[in-house]
Amino acid sequence: MFWSAPAPWTTADIPPQHGRTVVVTGATSGLGLETSRALVHAGARVLLAVRDTDRGAAVAAELGGAATAHRLDLADLTSVREFAAGVEGPIDVLINNAGLMAVPQGRTADGFETQLGVNFLGHFALTGLLLDRITDRVVTLSSVAHRMGRIRLDDLNRESGRYERWSAYGQSKLACLMFAYELQHRFVAAGSTLRSMAAHPGYAATNLQSRTESFQDAVMSVLNRVVAQSGEAGALPSLYAATVPDLPGGSHIGPDGIGEARGNPRPVGSTAASHDRRMQQALWERAEELTRVAFPL
Protein backbone atom coordinates (compact mmCIF):
# COMPACT_ATOMS: atom_id res chain seq x y z
CA MET A 1 0.00 0.00 0.00
CA PHE A 2 1.46 3.33 -1.06
CA TRP A 3 1.38 6.43 1.15
CA SER A 4 -0.19 9.49 -0.39
CA ALA A 5 -0.18 13.06 0.86
CA PRO A 6 -3.44 14.37 2.28
CA ALA A 7 -5.56 16.35 -0.12
CA PRO A 8 -4.97 20.11 0.02
CA TRP A 9 -7.43 22.08 2.16
CA THR A 10 -9.27 24.62 -0.01
CA THR A 11 -12.26 26.93 0.23
CA ALA A 12 -14.37 23.95 -0.84
CA ASP A 13 -13.61 22.44 2.59
CA ILE A 14 -15.06 25.37 4.55
CA PRO A 15 -18.03 24.03 6.56
CA PRO A 16 -21.38 25.72 5.87
CA GLN A 17 -21.43 29.12 7.56
CA HIS A 18 -25.15 29.85 7.29
CA GLY A 19 -26.42 31.77 10.31
CA ARG A 20 -22.94 32.82 11.40
CA THR A 21 -21.63 36.39 11.59
CA VAL A 22 -17.97 37.21 11.00
CA VAL A 23 -16.14 40.54 11.36
CA VAL A 24 -13.15 40.93 9.02
CA THR A 25 -10.85 43.95 9.38
CA GLY A 26 -9.12 45.33 6.31
CA ALA A 27 -11.67 43.72 4.02
CA THR A 28 -11.47 45.93 0.93
CA SER A 29 -8.40 44.33 -0.64
CA GLY A 30 -5.85 41.55 -0.41
CA LEU A 31 -6.26 38.83 2.18
CA GLY A 32 -9.23 40.52 3.86
CA LEU A 33 -11.18 40.69 0.61
CA GLU A 34 -10.42 37.07 -0.29
CA THR A 35 -11.30 35.94 3.24
CA SER A 36 -14.59 37.83 3.13
CA ARG A 37 -15.42 36.52 -0.33
CA ALA A 38 -14.92 32.90 0.72
CA LEU A 39 -16.97 33.34 3.90
CA VAL A 40 -19.89 34.94 2.06
CA HIS A 41 -19.77 32.13 -0.50
CA ALA A 42 -19.97 29.65 2.40
CA GLY A 43 -23.09 31.37 3.72
CA ALA A 44 -21.78 33.71 6.42
CA ARG A 45 -22.90 37.24 7.12
CA VAL A 46 -19.73 39.32 6.95
CA LEU A 47 -19.17 42.73 8.49
CA LEU A 48 -16.49 44.43 6.45
CA ALA A 49 -14.54 46.61 8.90
CA VAL A 50 -12.90 49.16 6.62
CA ARG A 51 -11.25 52.58 6.71
CA ASP A 52 -12.48 53.60 3.24
CA THR A 53 -16.27 53.31 3.41
CA ASP A 54 -16.75 54.13 -0.29
CA ARG A 55 -14.49 51.24 -1.24
CA GLY A 56 -16.14 49.13 1.44
CA ALA A 57 -19.60 49.82 -0.02
CA ALA A 58 -18.36 48.80 -3.47
CA VAL A 59 -16.94 45.55 -2.10
CA ALA A 60 -20.17 44.86 -0.19
CA ALA A 61 -22.16 45.38 -3.39
CA GLU A 62 -19.81 43.01 -5.22
CA LEU A 63 -20.13 40.31 -2.54
CA GLY A 64 -23.90 40.60 -2.20
CA GLY A 65 -26.39 41.30 0.55
CA ALA A 66 -24.62 39.11 3.12
CA ALA A 67 -21.79 41.65 3.33
CA THR A 68 -22.07 45.12 4.84
CA ALA A 69 -19.41 47.82 5.20
CA HIS A 70 -18.69 49.58 8.51
CA ARG A 71 -16.09 52.26 9.16
CA LEU A 72 -13.08 51.25 11.25
CA ASP A 73 -9.75 53.08 11.40
CA LEU A 74 -7.38 51.00 13.51
CA ALA A 75 -5.02 53.98 13.69
CA ASP A 76 -7.57 55.86 15.79
CA LEU A 77 -8.93 54.36 19.02
CA THR A 78 -11.93 56.70 18.87
CA SER A 79 -12.89 55.03 15.60
CA VAL A 80 -12.33 51.59 17.15
CA ARG A 81 -14.69 52.45 20.02
CA GLU A 82 -17.30 53.84 17.64
CA PHE A 83 -17.17 50.73 15.48
CA ALA A 84 -17.51 48.42 18.49
CA ALA A 85 -20.42 50.46 19.87
CA GLY A 86 -22.22 50.19 16.53
CA VAL A 87 -22.02 46.40 16.19
CA GLU A 88 -25.28 44.77 17.20
CA GLY A 89 -26.01 41.15 17.99
CA PRO A 90 -23.65 38.22 18.47
CA ILE A 91 -20.44 37.82 16.49
CA ASP A 92 -19.33 34.26 15.90
CA VAL A 93 -15.83 35.05 14.66
CA LEU A 94 -13.58 38.12 14.70
CA ILE A 95 -10.74 38.04 12.17
CA ASN A 96 -8.04 40.60 12.99
CA ASN A 97 -6.68 40.79 9.46
CA ALA A 98 -5.80 44.41 8.62
CA GLY A 99 -2.19 45.44 8.67
CA LEU A 100 0.67 47.57 7.43
CA MET A 101 4.16 46.41 6.50
CA ALA A 102 7.46 48.31 6.52
CA VAL A 103 5.87 51.73 6.14
CA PRO A 104 7.79 54.95 6.85
CA GLN A 105 7.93 56.18 10.41
CA GLY A 106 4.68 57.69 11.58
CA ARG A 107 2.24 58.01 14.46
CA THR A 108 -1.38 57.03 14.90
CA ALA A 109 -4.01 59.44 16.19
CA ASP A 110 -3.15 58.23 19.70
CA GLY A 111 0.60 58.66 19.30
CA PHE A 112 1.50 55.00 18.74
CA GLU A 113 4.17 53.93 16.25
CA THR A 114 2.09 53.30 13.14
CA GLN A 115 2.78 49.60 12.58
CA LEU A 116 2.40 48.68 16.25
CA GLY A 117 -0.73 50.83 16.50
CA VAL A 118 -2.52 49.39 13.48
CA ASN A 119 -1.29 45.80 13.50
CA PHE A 120 -1.43 45.15 17.24
CA LEU A 121 -2.84 47.84 19.53
CA GLY A 122 -5.86 48.65 17.35
CA HIS A 123 -6.77 44.98 17.14
CA PHE A 124 -6.13 44.46 20.84
CA ALA A 125 -8.59 47.24 21.66
CA LEU A 126 -11.12 46.02 19.10
CA THR A 127 -11.05 42.48 20.48
CA GLY A 128 -11.52 43.66 24.05
CA LEU A 129 -14.41 45.94 23.12
CA LEU A 130 -16.21 43.20 21.14
CA LEU A 131 -15.41 40.26 23.40
CA ASP A 132 -18.73 40.17 25.24
CA ARG A 133 -20.45 39.59 21.88
CA ILE A 134 -18.08 36.96 20.42
CA THR A 135 -19.46 33.43 20.60
CA ASP A 136 -16.83 31.20 18.97
CA ARG A 137 -13.31 32.44 18.25
CA VAL A 138 -10.86 35.23 17.51
CA VAL A 139 -8.32 34.87 14.68
CA THR A 140 -5.33 37.23 14.70
CA LEU A 141 -2.95 37.48 11.77
CA SER A 142 0.75 37.29 12.39
CA SER A 143 3.58 36.78 9.90
CA VAL A 144 6.72 34.74 9.35
CA ALA A 145 8.35 38.10 10.15
CA HIS A 146 7.55 37.46 13.81
CA ARG A 147 10.80 35.49 13.76
CA MET A 148 12.82 38.69 13.42
CA GLY A 149 10.73 40.52 15.99
CA ARG A 150 11.80 41.57 19.46
CA ILE A 151 9.45 43.15 21.99
CA ARG A 152 10.96 46.39 23.25
CA LEU A 153 8.70 46.66 26.25
CA ASP A 154 10.39 49.82 27.51
CA ASP A 155 10.08 51.50 24.09
CA LEU A 156 7.23 49.81 22.20
CA ASN A 157 6.47 52.94 20.21
CA ARG A 158 10.01 53.56 18.98
CA GLU A 159 10.37 56.89 20.71
CA SER A 160 14.15 56.66 21.02
CA GLY A 161 16.91 55.63 18.67
CA ARG A 162 16.86 55.21 14.91
CA TYR A 163 13.64 53.99 13.34
CA GLU A 164 14.01 50.71 11.46
CA ARG A 165 10.86 49.86 9.55
CA TRP A 166 11.43 46.11 9.30
CA SER A 167 12.36 45.81 12.95
CA ALA A 168 9.19 47.70 13.86
CA TYR A 169 7.16 45.42 11.60
CA GLY A 170 8.68 42.30 13.15
CA GLN A 171 7.87 43.57 16.63
CA SER A 172 4.26 44.31 15.67
CA LYS A 173 3.73 40.83 14.23
CA LEU A 174 5.42 39.11 17.16
CA ALA A 175 3.11 41.14 19.41
CA CYS A 176 0.09 39.92 17.41
CA LEU A 177 1.15 36.30 17.83
CA MET A 178 1.85 36.70 21.55
CA PHE A 179 -1.53 38.38 21.94
CA ALA A 180 -3.26 35.41 20.29
CA TYR A 181 -1.48 32.96 22.59
CA GLU A 182 -2.08 35.00 25.74
CA LEU A 183 -5.75 35.47 24.88
CA GLN A 184 -6.10 31.68 24.69
CA HIS A 185 -4.37 31.29 28.06
CA ARG A 186 -6.87 33.74 29.54
CA PHE A 187 -9.85 32.00 27.96
CA VAL A 188 -8.72 28.73 29.56
CA ALA A 189 -8.10 30.35 32.94
CA ALA A 190 -11.56 31.92 32.87
CA GLY A 191 -13.24 28.63 31.95
CA SER A 192 -14.44 30.17 28.69
CA THR A 193 -15.37 28.08 25.65
CA LEU A 194 -14.07 30.83 23.34
CA ARG A 195 -10.94 30.10 21.33
CA SER A 196 -8.09 32.29 20.15
CA MET A 197 -6.22 31.36 16.97
CA ALA A 198 -3.29 32.81 15.07
CA ALA A 199 -2.65 32.55 11.35
CA HIS A 200 -0.13 33.79 8.84
CA PRO A 201 -0.39 33.82 5.03
CA GLY A 202 3.19 33.00 4.11
CA TYR A 203 4.32 35.17 1.22
CA ALA A 204 1.15 36.22 -0.59
CA ALA A 205 0.95 38.79 -3.38
CA THR A 206 -1.16 41.69 -2.09
CA ASN A 207 -0.92 45.48 -2.01
CA LEU A 208 0.75 45.16 1.42
CA GLN A 209 4.07 45.09 -0.45
CA SER A 210 3.52 48.45 -2.16
CA ARG A 211 3.48 50.88 0.76
CA THR A 212 7.08 51.22 1.85
CA GLU A 213 7.46 54.41 -0.24
CA SER A 214 10.96 53.27 -1.14
CA PHE A 215 12.83 51.24 -3.78
CA GLN A 216 11.67 48.16 -1.88
CA ASP A 217 8.24 48.52 -3.49
CA ALA A 218 9.75 47.76 -6.91
CA VAL A 219 11.75 44.82 -5.56
CA MET A 220 8.71 43.28 -3.87
CA SER A 221 6.60 43.86 -6.99
CA VAL A 222 8.97 41.55 -8.86
CA LEU A 223 8.94 39.01 -6.03
CA ASN A 224 5.14 39.09 -6.01
CA ARG A 225 5.13 37.95 -9.62
CA VAL A 226 7.93 35.40 -9.33
CA VAL A 227 7.88 33.97 -5.79
CA ALA A 228 4.63 34.76 -3.98
CA GLN A 229 1.46 32.71 -3.91
CA SER A 230 -1.86 34.31 -4.76
CA GLY A 231 -4.00 36.33 -2.38
CA GLU A 232 -6.59 33.55 -2.54
CA ALA A 233 -3.99 31.02 -1.35
CA GLY A 234 -2.70 33.44 1.27
CA ALA A 235 -6.18 33.71 2.77
CA LEU A 236 -6.49 29.96 3.33
CA PRO A 237 -4.70 29.88 6.74
CA SER A 238 -7.08 32.54 8.07
CA LEU A 239 -10.09 30.68 6.71
CA TYR A 240 -8.83 27.40 8.18
CA ALA A 241 -8.29 29.04 11.58
CA ALA A 242 -11.72 30.66 11.43
CA THR A 243 -13.85 27.72 10.31
CA VAL A 244 -12.39 24.28 11.12
CA PRO A 245 -14.79 23.15 13.86
CA ASP A 246 -12.53 21.03 16.08
CA LEU A 247 -9.38 23.16 15.84
CA PRO A 248 -7.87 23.56 19.33
CA GLY A 249 -7.59 27.03 20.80
CA GLY A 250 -4.08 28.42 20.63
CA SER A 251 -3.43 26.93 17.17
CA HIS A 252 -1.16 28.79 14.76
CA ILE A 253 -1.97 28.12 11.11
CA GLY A 254 0.32 28.75 8.16
CA PRO A 255 1.42 27.25 4.81
CA ASP A 256 3.15 23.88 4.83
CA GLY A 257 5.82 24.66 2.22
CA ILE A 258 9.51 25.44 2.63
CA GLY A 259 9.96 28.27 5.10
CA GLU A 260 6.17 28.45 5.38
CA ALA A 261 6.25 30.83 2.42
CA ARG A 262 3.55 29.04 0.46
CA GLY A 263 1.58 25.82 0.44
CA ASN A 264 -1.43 24.23 2.08
CA PRO A 265 -2.69 25.47 5.46
CA ARG A 266 -1.77 23.45 8.55
CA PRO A 267 -0.80 24.00 12.20
CA VAL A 268 2.73 25.44 12.37
CA GLY A 269 5.15 26.34 15.12
CA SER A 270 6.61 29.68 16.17
CA THR A 271 9.67 31.05 17.92
CA ALA A 272 10.50 30.45 21.57
CA ALA A 273 10.13 34.19 22.11
CA SER A 274 6.49 34.03 21.04
CA HIS A 275 5.79 31.51 23.82
CA ASP A 276 7.47 33.52 26.60
CA ARG A 277 4.65 33.62 29.16
CA ARG A 278 6.20 36.35 31.26
CA MET A 279 6.56 38.62 28.22
CA GLN A 280 3.08 37.73 26.98
CA GLN A 281 1.62 38.90 30.26
CA ALA A 282 3.77 42.03 30.42
CA LEU A 283 2.87 42.95 26.83
CA TRP A 284 -0.82 42.45 27.61
CA GLU A 285 -0.62 44.73 30.64
CA ARG A 286 1.20 47.40 28.62
CA ALA A 287 -1.41 47.16 25.85
CA GLU A 288 -4.19 47.66 28.39
CA GLU A 289 -2.41 50.75 29.69
CA LEU A 290 -1.89 52.23 26.23
CA THR A 291 -5.38 51.50 24.86
CA ARG A 292 -7.30 51.84 28.14
CA VAL A 293 -9.23 48.71 27.20
CA ALA A 294 -9.70 45.96 29.79
CA PHE A 295 -11.00 42.57 28.71
CA PRO A 296 -14.19 41.23 30.37
CA LEU A 297 -12.67 37.90 31.41
CB 242 within 8 A of CB 22: yes
Instruction: Tell me how crowded residue 252 is: count the other CB atoms within 10 A of its CB.
Output: 22
In sequence order, what are the beta bridge partners of 113? 107
| Residues labelled as active-site residues | 169
**Nearest-10 crossing angle of helices 77-86, 122-130:** 20
Rounded CA separation 128/120 (Å): 12
CA atoms within 13 A on the CB side of 245: 6
Report how far apart, in Å, the C-alpha atoms of 142 and of each of 108, 248, 274 are. Answer: 20, 18, 11
Report how far apart, in Å, the C-alpha atoms of 70 and of each of 26, 82, 172, 195, 257 are. Answer: 11, 10, 25, 25, 36
Q: Which residues contact 6 (CB under 8 A, 6 or more apart)?
A: none
In degrees, rounded to 5, the angle at the alpha carbon of residue 115 between the alpha carbons of residues 109 and 121 is: 65
Burial class (CB in 10 A: 0-12, 13-18, 19+), 138: buried
SS3 190: coil
| Residue 120 per-residue DSSP state | I
